[in-house]
Amino acid sequence: MKKIIHRDIFGANPRKREVSVDETIFKSGTTIRKRRSCKYFVSEKKVSADIKELEFWIKNQKARGLKKNCHVFRELNTSTGINKVICKVMGEFFAVWGSMAFKIFYVNEVKLEFGNSKRENG
């Protein structure tokens, strides 16, 4: 079963978006749950009618900006028999639309859970 979820994350920063896909697979007595999520945050914005000024702003932001990071975590719960693997990639990119440039921070995550449980009816 697959579920696609889109939600706006409201709070201190109203410019957050999350898209995720949640999938559960039952195969020969093993349950595999796979969740992929992509979160995007507009962290900064620059408005200028001069395209050269926008290019200069982007160049300066890239020079002092965040480098792409990748983290892999593994967790094994011996009491429940659930094995989890989580991979996160974080970084930023820039988008230009008309006279506006946006600095967008992202977190992409893949989470896998493996367990020995039987398929539930319902």
Does any domain span residue 121?
Answer: no
Residue 56 forms beta bridges with which residues?
none
CB 30 within 8 A of CB 116: yes
Residue 122 belongs to a domain: no
84 has pLDDT over 50: yes
Residue 46 lies in a domain: yes
Who's near 50: CB < 8 A, 6+ residues apart? none
91-112 mean pLDDT: 90
Query: Looking at the domain assignment, is residue 97 inside a domain?
Result: yes
Residue 31 backbone phi and psi in degrees, to 5: -100, 130
Give the chain's domain count. Answer: 1
Number of neighbours of residue 12 by Cβ within 10 angstroms: 5
Q: Cα(88)–Cα(111) distance, rounded to whole angstroms?
A: 9
- Over range 88-103, report the average pLDDT: 91
Task: Please check whether residue 48 lies inside any domain of the structure.
Answer: yes
The answer on pLDDT for 117 being more than 70 is no
| Position 98, amino acid | G
In percent, how much of the chain has pLDDT > 90? 27
- Is residue 120 assigned to a domain? no
Which of these ranges, 59-63, 66-70, 85-89, 103-107, has the smallest mean pLDDT? 66-70
Domain of 11, in residue numbers: 2-115
